[in-house]
Structure formats: structure tokens, C-alpha cells
């Protein structure tokens, strides 16, 4: 029976604050896997995960900060145009 691979957490993972808005940037991959996954978690616990993998963890971190800055921290945290509200 094959063992499950370990999850490798990058040292580039960290908490950041942009325009007074806190974010948690998580960068990880499966042990022996190709590419790094990028997830940004907002203060209210909303998780934004990139579909594409990154060659290295630095590129993933740079993409997170670049995207947050280009969209604006508040807009990014609120989901911008990517959020589809549930019907009430």
C-alpha cells in the first residue's frame, strides 16, 4: 500500500497587510509534486486559490502580492467581480 505524500509548506508563506487589509498567503505543494499551489485567505476566512501551479514559491508569492495590489486590497478581499452571491 502506497503512503500518502506529505504536504510541503513554503517558507514564503506568511501574513501580509496591504492598505490596512490583512491576508494570509499560503504556498504549498505535495512532496515530490510538480509546482507550487497558491492560496490567499482573507480576514473573514474566504479562500482564493489559483488554478495554475507555479515553478517556484517566490513566483507564487510575487503573483499574490501583484494581484492584491493591482485589484486593490479591499476589492480583492471582497471578491471583486469574481463573487457570485447566493440567492436568498
pLDDT in tens, 22-56: 999 999 999 999 999 999 999 988 899 999 999 99
* 87 located within any domain: no
pLDDT tens per residue across span 50-87: 999 999 999 999 999 999 999 888 888 886 555 555 56
* 85 located within any domain: no
* 38 located within any domain: yes
The 3-state DSSP class for residue 62 equals helix
pLDDT tens per residue across span 8-19: 999 999 999 999
Inter-residue contact 43 to 34 (CB < 8 Å):
no
- What global pTM score does this model have? 0.83
| Distance in angstroms (rounded) separating the CA atoms of residues 88 and 81 | 19
Q: Where are the beta strands (DSSP E) in 1-88?
A: 7-9, 14-18, 21-30, 37-42, 47-49
* 53 located within any domain: yes
* 1 located within any domain: no
Residue 2: per-residue pLDDT? 83
Residue 76: per-residue pLDDT? 82
Number of domains comprising the chain: 1
Domain ranges, residue 23: 7-76
* 81 located within any domain: no
Amino acid at each position: 500500500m502506497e503512503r500518502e505524500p506529505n504536504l510541503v509548506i513554503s517558507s514564503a508563506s506568511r501574513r501580509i497587510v496591504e492598505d490596512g487589509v490583512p491576508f494570509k498567503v499560503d504556498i504549498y505543494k505535495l512532496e515530490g509534486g510538480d509546482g507550487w499551489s497558491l492560496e490567499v485567505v482573507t480576514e473573514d476566512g474566504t479562500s482564493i486559490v489559483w488554478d495554475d501551479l507555479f515553478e517556484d514559491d517566490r513566483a507564487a508569492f510575487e503573483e499574490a502580492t501583484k494581484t492584491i495590489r493591482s485589484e486593490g486590497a479591499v476589492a480583492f478581499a471582497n471578491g471583486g467581480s469574481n463573487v457570485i452571491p447566493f440567492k436568498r
